[in-house]
Structures are given as structure tokens and as C-alpha cells.
Chain A
């Protein structure tokens, strides 16, 4: 055989002419009846057997094939009067405006036309990419002419009323243009003038934009389904075609009976409606056609459009093998580069391995183990290409011994394989990263907690996907480009997206705090889990016994030439400190790899913290070192917090009675002040704020006063809280929660709000029937006096639930909006790439940016977007900033 591969060199789309529609039609549809009383399709109906057979055993009357090989055949409907095709309305509008209604010429002088035709020929030859702009220009220019340069006829303004009605302005009033009149005008336009407006008259004459014949698609495209009740249910398209035939019939009968024009026009418009909704049932301006049940019909455009449509649902929707999905759970004992895969999954996911003289023994073992014992193999591919399914092969031992180089074994997933791990919504490139497989017992995927931030994963039931690359190239790409350690730095902002969170931060703080001293046993245990292999340093204290500090242990993991000075997260409030001579130990100084002062917390090791200790480590010592630090030093923090026994209890948010009294007084004072504001307003003595009414001013003032009260109450509570109270530690170090959360637990919950206003809706002039209408006091407008510790009253609980719901609704709305925005951005930027000259271009070389980002800076490789960070360089060299 000659080369069977054919290449498509071009695709040309054009409009079907009425003649072509008739030519390809095998049957004219003339009746709205579909089946007779015996359930047989009626000749000339929309289910006519000549449209193709879809029932088993039948033979097609047109092509003689059975249902398996009959491709289906088109039919046609001769429309009693022409109707506009919704899809071409825009072009009809453009053509009507830029041509003469009387003589059909484009509204340009002969001289201009000739010049433009000449220019068009040259553009087609040399600058074809400019043609769209050129045609746009001609249409613009022609439609501005109000007198025809050819016949001198004055031109009228054309108005389009969506979706398909055209009007013409005549002496100040608008006259409707019937489709047949529009069709006449379009057919009057000479070929050359059509060409000037960017339409090829050879392929698509403009009058074909107005339908006189409608093609009827074969039944294969719109199969009817049998319901369990034995009733036949027709496809939406069939329903619509029946509507069209019926409307067409009635129109023709009225015309034949010489009915009054109003009746005819009404029926004509009905036909137009049915044809329009047959093509697109979601056009703005007309009600969508409904099914008897009230469901909108899915017509031609609906089959193509949108998420479930032919394009997004079938053509770009890819389904893959060698993938799996299950619930995820945390595992602090595996590396950030690893993923734990359940044995059950490892026995289904396979990797094809070519048998060589070096791996033949290993491969034989896999074959002997077979498909049900891990690590085994599921398939063997012989050199002749035949696949052997090991599930159905009895004597695997002899099969294994028959293995020779050249065979391919599809073996189970084993430790050290590479896999792509993904969590939806895949919003950035770190949503799919390569992990090294580690087969573990259990039924979930495991991941190191430090990689939660890039995936935005937690363990409240989240599921993730795993894909196994099948070719050497794919595996190499995964390992070299997609491995987790190569994505510690995020291109979203110049900083690490992987880093400590929650207990890692509390642990780092507790370990490096000045109050922590460690015995030799502690040190051995901590360094042991971190797989530290060096010597134990000299103890910091010798008497009364040998003791070490946490800072000494951290220093063991830092590079010897590492230097940094930075503030801790705890460096705030009472522990604020501006330089390294800090008594509160809240200023980090690392010189030559020794942590001298300062505690480790969120600012230094947290995820998404630019210019932090971990950021400089990643940047200056690379992904390998940063991964090692994450696997070892961070592990030590976790072990320390386990030894310490970190928890949170009711006591942590308890404050002494005198503090509670103080808070009560603050709130009472605020309530009195609010009463005063209300009283002042009632007497009409309140000066409204600029641009506000008195009522709005009262609200603003009350809100201000109450928020001040809550802040004061919170401050009192915070002052009474023990600095080493566990909840307080979490808030200060940035591990979890903030001071506001603490004050809401211990002091007062404060004002609940909906859309930035105090809660006021529900009943008439009051949120709940417990209050008098118009009561503006704090308790009647959503203020919660109690704290979570004291417990909320039923009314307060209602306020809190009402305010909390707003947050939930907001997140739901935000995610759907940002999802759609993401989709549009991806579709627009999908194939932009950076060329070697630093410009950002589309695949055909069109410029998107002349220099990428105007500065050629890769944010993932920069400091916070800056190409060069002089301060950091000086700090490294001098060991000193400023």
C-alpha cells in the first residue's frame, strides 16, 4: 500500500447554499406527523426511514446498509417564506448598512472600489494578516455614506432589534424589513462588492444568510429513546423540527387561502422563532423554547457550547490510564519529595520496563509474583508485540524463565518510581508536582505536611490524583522539572511556598526559646529523628549537669557560612525590639551558621514568608539543601513539640474575675455612650457627618464606639493572659489564630455584622421579636457581650450564626468567580512562550510583550520580584545590614 497517512493542509468553512441543501437531501419533509397508529414512521415526516436506519435488522432504503454502516442521510424542509439565520445576523447587519438598498452596490465610489480591490489583491499576496482590519475599515467607511455614489439614492438608517428583526428609518419612523426583502437586497450585491467586505461570494453568497430551505439532520444525530414504560421519547432536535414543519405548514396554508397580512405576518414570525431556537435556544431577547415539563430544550448550539458541550466536554476532555485517586492523609515521616501510595494502588498502577541482561532476574521475580502479590507484574509484552495478561496465565514460573531481553514487563509500582501528584482546583503550576513513590500500608495517599500549602490541601477528606508517567522522557521531565524540591520558590511572589506551618512553628519557637534547656537524652532523641550524623556539640551548661539549648541544635543544620539578621513574628507588642541587642529574644541573629539570638517562628521558617531564613536558604543553597532541611530540622521541631506536650485547654482562655469585672465595666461604659448618642439624635442635636443622613451618622458613631469597646476589652484580656499560655503562643508565633480570636474567646465576641452593617433585618425595624421596633441599643442590633468562654445567649447565638453565614456565602461566590476568571486567563495565555531573545510571543511569533515582564525577571528566581537584592548581598558579605 502507498502511504496511508494523509495530511490536512487547510480547512475552509463556508455557508450552505439552498441548492446544496437540496442536492444533499434524500427526502423532503412535508408533514409534522412522525409515526402512524402502528408505530411505523410516516413517509415525509421527520422520522422518515430515508433519513437513515438506527433500528437493528432494518435495511436503509437509501444506501442499503444496516444500522451499523448507514451513515444517515439529510432531508430538507422547503420554507414557505424565508427566515433569518440567527448565526449570520451580525453579517447581515454589516452588509445592509454598507450597501445601497436600491442598486445593491457598496457605498463607495467606483474609483475607491477599484483602488480598494487592487489594495486587497496586494494584501492577500503580501500581508494577509491585515485583511480583517482592511475589511473592517471598508465596512466602517461605506456605512458612513448617506447617499449612494452609484445611483444617488439616499440611504436609510438600519436598526437591528435582537435577535433577528431589522428596521429601516424612513422619515423619522421605523419600518420593519421582512426577511424576503432583506434577502432581495443581499442578492443584489455584486460579487466584487461582496469580496471587498471580506466574504468570498464563490463559497458564500450573502443571500444564503437568509434561509429558504432548512436541512434536516439524519436520525443518527437525534435518536429517540425507549422509556421503561414502552413510550418512545424523542430527541429535543426532533421536537423542534416538528414545530418548524407545523409552523411552516400553517404559514403555507394561510398564504394559499389568501389570509389577511396580519395573520400571515404572525405565522411568519412564529416560523422565525422556531427556526431561531432550533439553531440556538439561548439567544438573548427571546424566551427559550421549553419542553412540556418546563425544561429548556437543548438545540444545536447547546450541543456545542459550554462545559458539557462537544468542544469542552469531548474534544478537550482527556481521560487517562495509569492514574488513581483517593483520600489523602498526613505523614511527617516521609520526605517532602515523596508520596505514600497504598499497596492496593501500587498493584494496579504499572510501569513498563524493558528486559535487559542486567535486570532480567529482577523482572523474572516480578513475573513469578504475578498480579496479586506486590511487587509483581500485571502484563508481559512479547517482542512480537503480543500482550500476555498475567491474571489468566497459569504457569508463571515457566513464563518467567522464558523471559529474554527485548520483552517488556509491566511491573507494579515500587519505591523510587516517579509519580505526578495533583489536587484540584489546579490553579498554579505547584498544583501538579512530581513525587517519589513510597509504597505504604493503608488505603490513603500520604504526603508530608510541609507540601500542604502549594496544593492548598488539608486532611478533612480531601482527595488527590496520582499519575504514573509511562515513558523515559516523561519520567525525566517529571524528575528534572516537576520534583517538589524544585518548586519551593513560588512564581506567584518571590518567596518560598513550601515551609513550616502550625505545629512546626510552635515547635520551632518552643525549642529555640530561651526557657528551653535539653538534657543529653533529649538531644540524642531530637538529633536522632533528624538523622543527624555528626558530633554532639559542647554543652551550653556544665553545672548542675550537662545541658544544651535548642539554638545549638538548630545551628547544627545551618550552613557554615550562613548569615542573617531578621525579626521574629513574636517581635510585636510588648516584645517589640528594633535591633539585635534584644532582651526579649525576638530578634534573630545567625552568624556563620550559628543561631546566636532570637526564636524560630513563622517569620523565619513559615510557608509563604518572603525574605525569611528559609527563603535565603532555598535561594542560596538550592533545592537539595532546602529539602534536606525540611526533612530533618523541621522533623526535629515536630518531635520537640510532641515531647513538650503541646495542647490547648479552657484554662488558656480563662481570665481572672478582676479582669472580667474590668471588661464588664468597659462594655457598660460603651453601652451608656451608645445610649447618649441615640438620645442626642432623638433630640435632633446630632450633627450629621458630611454626605450622611442623621440615621447613618448614628450608626457610624455607634459602630465606632462599640468597636473601640471591643478593642479595649480585648486589650485587658490579652494583658491578663500568661505569655506562655499555649493558645497565646500560637497566636504570637503565627502558628495558628490571632489575638482577635483569643479576645473573642476570653473577653467579648463583639459586634456581628451583615454587609458591613449592624444586624437589623428580620422583622419590621428589629432583627428579632424580642425587641421593640426601632430599638438601636447594642443588644438589639447584633452586639454579643459574652465571650465564647462564658457562652452565648440564644439571641447572641442567632446573631453569630447570621454573621457567620455571610462569610460562607462570600467564599462560595468568590470561588466560582475566580474559577471562571482563571479559565479565561488560561485560555488567553495558554501558549504564550518566552523566546530566546527575551520576548513573550504566541506560537506564530506575534508579540505579546517585547521583553517579558518589561524586565525579563522570573519571579520564582528573584527576591520578591527584584532582580538583584543588594541589601542581602551586603548582609551576606559583611554579616551586617545598614
Chain B
């Protein structure tokens, strides 16, 4: 156990990740015009999901910044694994 733990979220190449609680999932799905089975998945064992403490059934909102295309938002469904 090193005293100063590094968080993957602080790395320059890791975009902004944010937990969306289960209660807000229906709202987000409506917003992006999708059902739950249409989302890409992220496992709870994923380093970022672990860092955020994301629980199965929640969403993770990822905001990516790109030189050419600007800001894009992606949602992933958290699953056990």
C-alpha cells in the first residue's frame, strides 16, 4: 500500500467519467432515445468503474474532447464482471 495512490481519473488521456445513479437512468435513456439493452457496457472491474465505485445497473457518462469534432458524450451501462 503506497501512501499516495494514483487515480486513473487524473491521467491526461482519461476523459471525464461521471456516475449516473439508477434513479436517473430512465431520464437519460429517454434523452438519448434508447432502451437499456442498446447501450455499450462497462464492467465493475474496469479500472475507471472501480475508481468511481460504480454499481451494476448504473450508467457512466463519459465526456470526450476531440480536436476536430469537439465535445462528445457517451453512456455506458455498468455490469458485473
Contact = CB atoms under 8 A, between A and B. Distances in A.
A853 B35 contact: no
B75 A850 contact: yes
Contacts of B72: 850-851, 854
B26 interface: no
A490 B75 CA distance: 32
Interface of B: 32-41, 43, 64, 66, 68-70, 72-75, 79-81
A581 interface: no
Interface string A848-866: 0011011100000000010
Contact of A854 (B66, B80, B81): B66
B36 A136 contact: no
B70 A855 contact: yes
Contacts of A851: 72
A837 B69 contact: no
Interface stretch (A126-134, A145-153, A417-425): A126-134
Given A127-B37, A850-B32, 8 more contacts: A127-B36, A133-B43, A137-B81, A845-B35, A846-B40, A847-B34, A854-B66, A855-B68
Contacts of B43: 133
Nearest to A837: B33
21 contacts: A127-B36, A127-B37, A129-B37, A133-B43, A133-B80, A134-B79, A134-B80, A136-B81, A137-B80, A137-B81, A837-B32, A845-B38, A846-B37, A847-B34, A847-B38, A847-B40, A850-B72, A850-B75, A853-B69, A854-B72, A865-B68
A855 B69 contact: yes
A411 interface: no
Contacts of A865: 68
Contacts of B70: 854-855
Given A850-B72, A850-B74, A855-B68, A133 B40 contact: no
Nearest to B39: A847
A362 interface: no
B34 A845 contact: yes
A133 B38 contact: no
Contacts of A854: 64, 66, 69-70, 72
Nearest to B37: A129
A232 B34 CA distance: 62
Which 10 A-B residue pairings sit nearest by Cβ, starting from the closest?
A854-B69, A855-B69, A129-B37, A845-B38, A854-B72, A846-B38, A137-B81, A133-B79, A837-B33, A137-B80
Contacts of B32: 837, 839, 850
Interface residues of A, number: 22
A850 B79 CA distance: 20
B30 to A, nearest CB: 12
Contacts of B64: 854
A850 B37 contact: no
Interface string A828-842: 000000010101010
Nearest to A846: B38
Nearest to B73: A850
A346 to B, nearest CB: 49
A853 B34 CA distance: 19
A372 B69 CA distance: 60
A137 B79 CA distance: 10
Nearest to B32: A850
Contacts of A846: 37-40
B15 to A, nearest CB: 12
A838 B47 CA distance: 30
Nearest to A836: B33
A139 to B, nearest CB: 11
A841 B34 CA distance: 10
A136 B79 CA distance: 12
Contacts of A839: 32-33
Contacts of A129: 37
Contacts of B69: 853-855
A38 interface: no
Interface in A96-142: 127, 129-130, 133-134, 136-137, 140
A844 interface: yes
Contacts of A140: 81
Nearest to A848: B40
Contacts of A134: 79-80
Nearest to A844: B38
Contacts of A130: 79
Contacts of A853: 69
Contacts of B80: 133-134, 137
A258 to B, nearest CB: 52
A133 B35 contact: no
B69 to A, nearest CB: 4
A668 to B, nearest CB: 52
Contacts of B34: 845, 847
A130 B56 CA distance: 11
Contacts of A847: 34, 38-40
A175 B38 CA distance: 46
A865 B69 CA distance: 10
Contacts of B36: 127
A130 B34 CA distance: 16
Nearest to B66: A854
B60 to A, nearest CB: 13
A847 B38 CA distance: 6
A130 B40 CA distance: 11
A845 B81 CA distance: 24
Contacts of B73: 850
A844 B34 CA distance: 11
A855 B69 CA distance: 5
Contacts of B79: 130, 133-134
A247 to B, nearest CB: 43
Contacts of A841: 38
Nearest to B74: A850
Nearest to A134: B80
Nearest to B76: A847
A652 B80 CA distance: 74
A854 B74 CA distance: 10
A133 B46 CA distance: 14
Among A844, A845, A846, A850, the most chain B Cβ lie within 10 Å of the Cβ of A850
A134 B70 CA distance: 36
Contacts of B68: 855, 865
A127 B77 CA distance: 12
A837 B38 CA distance: 14
Among A140, A837, A846, A865, chain B packs the most CB atoms within 10 A around the CB of A846
A865 B80 CA distance: 39
A723 B78 CA distance: 69
A494 to B, nearest CB: 13
A847 B40 CA distance: 7
B61 to A, nearest CB: 11
A853 B68 CA distance: 10
Contacts of B33: 835, 837, 839
B21 to A, nearest CB: 18
B28 to A, nearest CB: 12
B18 to A, nearest CB: 15
A855 B67 CA distance: 11
Contacts of B81: 133, 136-137, 140
A476 B63 CA distance: 43
Nearest to B57: A127
A851 to B, nearest CB: 6
A522 to B, nearest CB: 49
A844 B38 CA distance: 8
Most central of A130, A835, A839 by chain B CB within 10 Å: A130
B11 to A, nearest CB: 21
Interface in A306-358: none
B42 to A, nearest CB: 11
A133 B41 CA distance: 10
Interface string A729-742: 00000000000000
Nearest to A857: B69
A134 B36 CA distance: 16
A818 to B, nearest CB: 25
A528 to B, nearest CB: 48
Nearest to B35: A845
